Amino acid sequence: MKIVSIGEVLWDVIGDKEHLGGATFNFSAHAQRLGQEVYFVSAVGRDQRGDRVLDRMVQMGLSTRFVRRDDNFPTGIASVSLNANGQPTFRIERPAAYDFPVLTEADLNELLQPAPDWIYFGTLHQISPQAHEVTNRLLAAKCGARHFYDVNLRPACYEPQLVRDLMAQATVVKLNDEEVRAVDQMCGRSHRTLEEFCRDYASDLGWEAVCVTRGAEGCALLIGEEFVEASGYGVTVVDTVGAGDAFAAAFLHGLGSGWPASRVADFANRVGALITSRPGAVPPWTRDEVENLAS
C-alpha cells in the first residue's frame, strides 16, 4: 500500500537519553517495517537534531523527500517521564519545526500520482494552523485515498471542535479507552459499551472501521458490521512510548490486506505488546518475533 502520513517528528527525552519519536513518525517507521510504501510529510530544524532525524530515516529506508528544513524553529523535542508501570507523561516543546510543513503544488502532485491508498494524520500536529492547512489540502484531494485518523490526544494539544472536524473527515479511526470518554464528552454523548460507541460513531460519521485500544487488556475493533474484542499479550513492560503508533501501523496493515476483524485485532495487539517490551518508540523488531509472541 502507498501511505502518505503527515505529522510530527521529534526526540523523546527520557532522563539523559534521547529516542527518536513523534506519533506520526513512529507510525510511519512501523508501517515501513511492515512493507508499506510510506511518504512522511513534516519538518525539522536546521540543527544537529534535524540532521540526526534525516540520517535515521535514511537508515530505516524512509523517504526524506517531503521533510523540509526550517530555518526559524528547532527540531521538536518532548520531555517524557515514566511512572512505575512504564506509562509516559509528555511535556511537548512548541512551536517546533514540524508545526510548519510546506507542500508546493509540485510536491502535492508528486505525492498524489500515483494516488495513495491511505492518508494518515493525528491530532497534535493539527493544532498548528499551517499544518492543518497543509493536511486539509491533502484530505481534499479527490484521489480515492482513505483517511486514517489516530486521535492520540495530548494535554493542551487539542480543541474539541478540531477533534470533531477531524473525525468527520476520517474513513477509519483509532483511539484508546480514555479517549473514548473524552470524545463522548466533546460530542455530548454517553455510551455504555465500546461496541455501542463504535457502532454509533461509525454509523453517524460513515467510518469503515474504528478501533479502541485498551492497554494490556487488548482492543475492541469494528470493521463494517463485524465487532470483536481481542485480549492483549502479557509482556514485561519497558516503556509504552510508541506502542499505540505501532499498533496503528499493524491495524492499517491488516485492514488494508482485507483480513477479518479477529485477525487484524490479534496482529495489532501482538505488535503493540512487542514494542512495549523494548526501549524507545521505534525499536528493531521482526515479523517472526510478532508471530512467535506467546499469549
pLDDT at 294 over 80: no
81 pLDDT band, cuts 50/70/90, is confident
| CA dist., res. 62 & res. 41, Å (int) | 11
Q: Left, alpha or beta for 117 (phi > 0: left; psi -120 to 50: alpha)? A: alpha
How much of the chain is in helix, strand and coil states, percent to nearest 5?
40, 25, 35
Query: Contacts by 227-231 with C-beta closer than 8 Å and gap 24+?
Result: 227/195, 227/198, 227/199, 227/261, 228/261, 228/262, 228/265, 229/194, 229/265, 230/262, 230/265, 230/266, 230/269, 231/269, 231/295
Cα–Cα distance measured from residue 45 to residue 34, given in angstroms and rounded to the nearest whole number: 28
Q: Taking residues 31-35, report their average pLDDT.
A: 96
pLDDT tops 80 at residue 208: yes
Pairing of strands 37-45, 67-70: parallel
Confidence of residue 236 (pLDDT cuts 50, 70, 90): confident
Provide the pLDDT for residue 26: 96
Residue 272, helix vs strand vs coil? helix
H or E stretch including 267? helix 261-276
Cell numbers for 7, please give them: 505529522
Domain boundaries, the chain: 2-287
**Domain 2-287 listed as CATH 2.40.30.10:** no
Q: Are 8 and 76 in contact (CB under 8 A)?
A: yes
User: What value does the mean pLDDT take over residues 19-36?
Assistant: 95
Q: Per-residue confidence at 293, pLDDT binned at 50, 70, 90?
A: confident
At residue 103 the predicted structure's pLDDT band, cuts being 50, 70 and 90, is very high
Q: Residue 129: is the preceding peptide bond cis (ω within 30°)?
A: no
Sign of CA dihedral 230, 231, 233, 239: positive
Q: Give pLDDT, residue 191.
A: 94
| Cα–Cα distance for residue pair 274/137, rounded to 1 Å | 35
Q: What are phi and psi of 75, to 5 degrees?
A: -60, 140
Higher pLDDT: 240 or 224? It is 224
* E strand segments, the chain: 2-6, 10-14, 17-21, 37-45, 67-70, 76-82, 88-92, 118-122, 146-150, 172-176, 209-213, 219-223, 226-230
Residue 169 has pLDDT above 70, yes or no: yes
Residue 263 has pLDDT above 90, yes or no: yes
pLDDT at 184: 97
Structure confidence by residue, pLDDT tens digits, 242-255? 899 999 999 999 99
Average pLDDT over every residue of 280-287: 89
- Distance between start and end Cα atoms, the chain: 29
Q: Is the pLDDT of residue 74 over 70?
A: yes
Under DSSP, is residue 162 helix (H, G, I), strand (E, B) or coil?
helix
Model confidence band, residue 207 (pLDDT cutoffs 50, 70, 90)? very high
Task: Give the strand pairing for 219-223 and 226-230.
Answer: antiparallel
Amino acid identity of residue 134, one-letter, is: V
Given a cut of 80, is residue 115 above it in pLDDT? yes
Helix axes 261-276, 243-256, angle to 10 degrees: 150
Mean pLDDT estimate for the chain: 94
Question: 85-99, 111-125, 161-175, 231-245 — which is least confidently predicted?
Answer: 85-99
Whether the pTM exceeds 0.85: the reply is yes
Q: Which of 120-124, 181-185, 238-242, 276-280 has the weakest average pLDDT?
A: 238-242
Q: What is the pLDDT of residue 295?
A: 67
pLDDT at residue 86, as a whole number = 64
Residue 82 pLDDT exceeds 80: no
Model confidence at 171, pLDDT cuts 50, 70, 90, reads: very high
